[in-house]
Amino acid sequence: MTFSKLSVLFVFVQVTAFTVACFVFAWYEKTVPDALIVSFFAWFAVEGGALALLKIDERKNKTDAAALKRENAAMKKQLDRVQKAVGIDGQEKMKGA
């Protein structure tokens, strides 16, 4: 399991546990400070947002890499056609490289 999946799982478990704890406190008519609740959910909102940004960046990098691969393949085909038209065979290509 990757680190980001483990982090998301950890976030969901912690939020669920905190929510259940707040419900238990409310059941026994105890109060949980509002600042604690707001701070807790704000922290995990920032954490979740950071994980989302990391995932978006990772997907963008993969997409960019795939586009570069396609572009390089097209350029290689074009170079091969030009070299064939000029009359450069495989042996001469290897010496020039």
Q: What is the 3 state secondary structure string of the chain?
A: CCHHHHHHHHHHHHHHHHHHHHHHHHHCCCCCCHHHHHHHHHHHHHHHHHHHHHHHHHHHHHHHHHHHHHHHHHHHHHHHHHHHHHCCCHHHHHHHC
8-65 per-position pLDDT tens digit: 888 889 999 999 999 999 898 888 888 988 999 898 888 888 888 888 888 888 887 7
- Residue 82, in any domain of the structure: no
- Residue 7, in any domain of the structure: yes
- Residue 18, in any domain of the structure: yes
Residue keyed to tokens 């009359």: 87
Q: Give residue 97's pLDDT band: very low, low, confident or very high (50, 70, 90).
A: low
Q: What is residue 78's predicted lDDT score, i.e. its pLDDT?
A: 84
71-92 per-position pLDDT tens digit: 888 888 888 888 888 887 655 5
Q: What is residue 19's predicted lDDT score, i.e. its pLDDT?
A: 92
Q: How far apart are CA 5 and CA 3, in angstroms?
A: 6
Q: What is residue 20's predicted lDDT score, i.e. its pLDDT?
A: 93
Q: What is residue 13's predicted lDDT score, i.e. its pLDDT?
A: 92
Residue keyed to tokens 């259940």: 20
- Residue 54, in any domain of the structure: yes
Q: Which domain holds residue 44?
A: 3-68
Q: How many domains does the chain have?
A: 1
Q: What is residue 90's predicted lDDT score, i.e. its pLDDT?
A: 56
